C-alpha cells in the first residue's frame, strides 16, 4: 500500500532559486473531497493518475500510476475544471529532499516547500528559506488551490 508522509511550509526570500532546477507541473482534479482526491498530472513527457486519502494531517494513502501523456491531456481538457500550474524545484538539504513549488496563473505569488519523510516523527533540519509550517492548513493543498485560487483569498480565508 502506498503512503505519503509530508510536511508543507511557506517559503521566504529568494535564496532557494539558486539551489535547484525547476520543472513545470500541470495538474487537474477529477474529484476533491475533504478526505480524498483524484488527480492527473503532467510533467514534461510523463503523466500520472494519483489517488490520495487522508490518514492524518501529515500522512495519506497515495497510489500513483503512470498513464500516457495524451490521455492525461484529454483528461485535463475535458474532465478537470479545477487545475493548478506551478514550477517545482527539487533541492537537497541536510540529507532530505525539499520540493519547492512556485505557483503561477491564479495562484501566482504563492511559494510552498514540501518535505517527504519516512515517518511522522522523523527529525529534519530546516533551510533558512523555510517559513511558517502550513501542513495542517488545508487551504495550502493543491486541491484546495485548484478550486479557491490564492489571488482571490482575503484576510478572512
Give catalytic residue positions: 29
- Contacts (Cβ under 8 Å, ≥6 apart) of 18: none
Task: Identify the CA nearest to 28 among candidates 54, 67, 57.
Answer: 67
Give CA–CA dist 19/141, Å, rounded. 24
Give CA–CA dist 6/66, Å, rounded. 21
Measured CA angle at 149 (ends 70, 28), to 5 deg: 15
CA torsion angle for 2, 146, 14, 99 (degrees, to 10)?
A: 10
Amino acid at each position: 500500500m502506498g503512503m505519503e508522509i509530508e510536511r508543507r511550509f511557506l517559503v521566504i526570500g529568494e535564496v532557494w532559486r539558486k539551489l535547484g532546477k525547476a520543472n513545470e507541473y500541470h495538474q487537474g482534479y477529477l474529484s476533491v473531497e475533504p478526505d480524498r482526491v483524484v488527480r492527473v498530472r503532467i510533467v514534461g513527457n510523463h503523466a500520472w493518475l494519483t489517488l490520495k486519502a487522508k490518514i492524518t494531517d501529515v500522512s495519506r494513502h497515495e497510489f500513483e500510476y503512470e498513464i500516457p501523456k495524451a490521455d492525461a491531456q484529454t483528461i485535463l481538457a475535458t474532465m478537470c475544471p479545477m487545475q493548478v500550474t506551478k514550477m517545482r524545484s527539487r533541492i537537497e538539504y541536510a540529507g532530505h529532499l525539499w520540493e519547492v513549488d512556485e505557483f503561477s496563473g491564479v495562484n501566482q505569488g504563492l511559494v510552498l516547500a514540501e518535505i517527504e519523510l519516512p515517518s511522522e516523527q522523523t527529525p529534519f533540519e530546516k533551510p533558512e528559506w523555510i517559513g511558517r509550517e502550513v501542513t495542517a492548513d488545508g487551504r495550502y493543498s493543491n486541491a484546495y488551490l485548484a478550486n479557491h485560487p490564492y489571488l482571490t483569498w482575503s484576510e478572512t480565508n
